[in-house]
Amino acid sequence: MSELALRLPDPVILAIPAFVGLAALEILVARLRKHPAYELRDTAASLTMGLVNLVQAVLFAGVIWWSLQATYEWRLFDLPVTIWTWLALLFAEDLVYYWFHRLSHEHRIWWAAHVNHHSSQHYNLSTALRQHWTGNLVFTWALWLPLALVGFPPALIVFQKGISLVYQFWIHTEQVRRLPRWFEAVFNTPSHHRVHHATNPRYLDRNYAGIFIIWDKLFGSFAPEDDAEPCRYGIVKNLGSFNPLRIAFHEWVDIGRDLRKAGSLREAMGYLFGPPGWRPDGTGVTSDILRARWQAERSDATTEAGTGAGAAAD
């Protein structure tokens, strides 16, 4: 292991006391506001998901570290370890995270690994701990290898990934409504991330940001939170279960069922890499279809309101 890796702390480990303190504060604030934020069985499921995620992360750490180091041997540039290199990595790693997150929603094989994070119908700081068990098995970590190829030291990449995880913990709350406008314009916030966890058609598959919301605005995936339409949390077809095994593997089981009935290689690839909800006969319901239906209903309602207003004026 490099000398740099030995010097850099693990941001997640250092942040654990803050995680516990913030969760306790959230519970207190929610009770004072008479707005219960936690459900015991749901929280227990989230904590279990987080603990197993930590175990599998340790098991895969060697493979990921070796891959980063092997890629770094072919680096295009020798980037010095300076504050400027870290600032460049801050944005570069966050851009990688944006595309990882977006791919995890738009392609079913990666959604199967990510869906458990969205499975809670509650939105609180414990939800941040409801992490994947299978993401490393489908090579989601490989998206970070180009950073090492560019020349960012592997230890610095791992450190920045930890910073991103720590940042994203605190945005999983309903107790913070809006932050100053300049902050909301640049950074991911509780308001932006509530949208990401919502199942309302207008909010589906929006706000993939890690730290900077600018990527969503740049790539057309941003949606603001509308106070007139509160967020409904969970997934489109909620599980109704607190069993961590079902939470972690239900989508993989469904994929297996679909692959068994696939009539061709094209259909099998569609079930694996198409958007969640895709069906070869066109009867599936994807996020784009749900959003299109909502937009059509909204347009029809606007037209009817305009017609009614015109008739009243006559």
pLDDT at 112 over 80: yes
Number of domains the chain is built from: 1
In a domain, 129, yes or no: yes
3-state secondary structure of 177: coil
What would the pLDDT profile of 196-221 be if each residue is shown by its tens digit? 999 999 999 999 999 999 999 999 99
Number of H helices and number of E strands within the chain? 13, 0
In a domain, 273, yes or no: no
pLDDT at 138 over 90: yes
**pLDDT: is 163 or 33 the higher one?**
163
- The HSE-up count of residue 291 (CA atoms within 13 Å, CB side) is 12
Model pLDDT, residue 8: 82
What would the pLDDT profile of 14-47 be if each residue is shown by its tens digit? 998 999 999 999 989 988 888 777 899 999 999 9
Per-residue confidence at 305, pLDDT binned at 50, 70, 90?
low
| Closest among 291, 313, 295, 314 to 303, alpha carbons compared | 295
| Closest among 152, 20, 16, 165 to 86, alpha carbons compared | 152
How many Å from the N-terminal Cα to the C-terminal Cα in the chain? 80
Model pLDDT, residue 307: 61
Task: Give residue 31's domain range.
Answer: 3-219
CA distances (Å), origin 202, targets 53, 236, 295, 303:
31, 13, 8, 19
Tell me the one-letter amino acid at 15: A
pLDDT at 133 over 70: yes
In a domain, 187, yes or no: yes
Model pLDDT, residue 310: 56
Model pLDDT, residue 37: 78
In a domain, 85, yes or no: yes
- The HSE-up count of residue 288 (CA atoms within 13 Å, CB side) is 10
Q: Give me the torsion for CA of 227, 216, 96, 90, rounded to 10°.
A: -80
pLDDT at 113 over 50: yes
In a domain, 228, yes or no: no
Model pLDDT, residue 69: 96
What would the pLDDT profile of 64-74 be if each residue is shown by its tens digit? 999 999 999 99
In a domain, 171, yes or no: yes
In a domain, 40, yes or no: yes
In a domain, 140, yes or no: yes
Model pLDDT, residue 30: 87
Question: Which residues have CB under 8 Å from 161's CB, separation 6+?
Answer: 93, 144
* pTM of the predicted model over 0.85: yes
Distance separating alpha carbons of residues 164 and 187, to the nearest angstrom = 12
Model pLDDT, residue 32: 87
Residue 239's CB: how many other CB atoms inside 10 A? 18
